[in-house]
């Protein structure tokens, strides 16, 4: 079993809840944006560095280490990037510098944002998904970035919001873009952390939601002086 996590965004409480929820797995794959928005960049990186099979580059990861123009971000996101840049240790900065834009493993392609634009494009609808199906060679591509759990299948052109715990079979003759949702800042109206479990032998995925201590992370964000909007949105899952 492989746990696929994305968009943790320095939310230590959410990360811990998710790690506890899946327990022992063979591998953990991360789709990027380990940092940004939240108060705990170093704590999150210290826990995950030794656990991840690989780590992909997210826009917030780049923005937090001075490798992306911060004017590309919203004012709140920019402020959180600057906070992270100030706080992050040299060792953790080096780790983020070493993340990859694209990973390919047997039937799976993995990117933070989209196969066409690995760091920036948001795949929010069927049109964007269709424009991206030709940009990866494998049957399946995992993406993060939008913080929305969703599946796009080329053979069935609609966007499927997956049900919690439902086991979904992956078809090798299809082309599928799969988003596990966000661990640290869900945006589908459900404040619980989202991730998925991949059974790479039987080719099935299962979506998981996990409650975590939202109040604790909000207090830590207040103490850190992070923007009010970023604090408030966590309890609404928006």
**By the criterion CB under 5 A, which residues form the site for Zn ion?**
7, 33
In the complex, the smallest distance separating the C-beta of residue 12 from Zn ion, rounded to whole angstroms, is 16
Q: Which is nearer to Zn ion, 9 or 175 (CB)?
A: 9
| Ramachandran quadrant class, 23 (left: phi over 0; alpha: psi -120 to 50; beta: rest) | left
In the complex, the smallest distance separating the C-beta of residue 205 from Zn ion, rounded to whole angstroms, is 20
Q: Return the bridge partners of 199, or none.
A: 204
Contact 176, 139 (CB under 8 A): yes
Any idea of the CA torsion for 130, 158, 115, 47, to the nearest 10 degrees? 170
In the complex, the smallest distance separating the C-beta of residue 230 from Zn ion, rounded to whole angstroms, is 12
In the complex, the smallest distance separating the C-beta of residue 26 from Zn ion, rounded to whole angstroms, is 25
- The DSSP code for 100 is B
Contact 123, 146 (CB under 8 A): yes
Q: Which is nearer to Zn ion, 7 or 43 (CB)?
A: 7
Q: Which is nearer to Zn ion, 170 or 234 (CB)?
A: 234
Q: Which is nearer to Zn ion, 64 or 92 (CB)?
A: 64
In whole angstroms, give the CA distance from residue 21 to residue 210. 7
């Amino acid at each position: 079993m492989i746990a696929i996590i994305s968009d943790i965004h320095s939310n230590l409480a959410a990360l811990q809840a998710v790690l506890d929820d899946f327990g022992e797995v063979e591998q953990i794959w991360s789709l990027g944006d380990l940092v940004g928005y939240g108060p705990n960049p170093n704590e999150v990186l210290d826990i995950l560095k030794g656990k991840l099979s690989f780590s992909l580059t997210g826009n917030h990861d780049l923005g937090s280490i001075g490798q992306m123009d911060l004017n590309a971000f919203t004012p709140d996101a920019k402020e959180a990037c600057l906070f992270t840049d100030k706080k992050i240790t040299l060792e953790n900065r080096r780790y983020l510098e070493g993340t990859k834009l694209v990973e390919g493993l047997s039937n799976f392609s993995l990117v933070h944002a989209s196969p066409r634009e690995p760091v920036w494009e948001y795949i929010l609808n069927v049109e964007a998904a269709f424009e991206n199906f030709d940009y990866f060679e494998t049957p399946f591509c995992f993406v993060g970035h939008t913080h929305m759990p969703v599946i796009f299948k080329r053979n069935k052109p609609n966007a499927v919001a997956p049900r919690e715990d439902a086991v979904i079979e992956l078809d090798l003759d299809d082309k599928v873009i799969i988003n596990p949702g966000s661990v640290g800042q869900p945006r589908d109206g459900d404040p619980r952390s989202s991730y998925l479990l991949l059974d790479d032998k039987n080719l099935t995925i299962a979506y998981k939601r996990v409650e975590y201590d939202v109040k604790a992370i909000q207090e830590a964000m207040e103490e850190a002086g992070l923007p009010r909007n970023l604090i408030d949105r966590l309890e609404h899952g928006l």
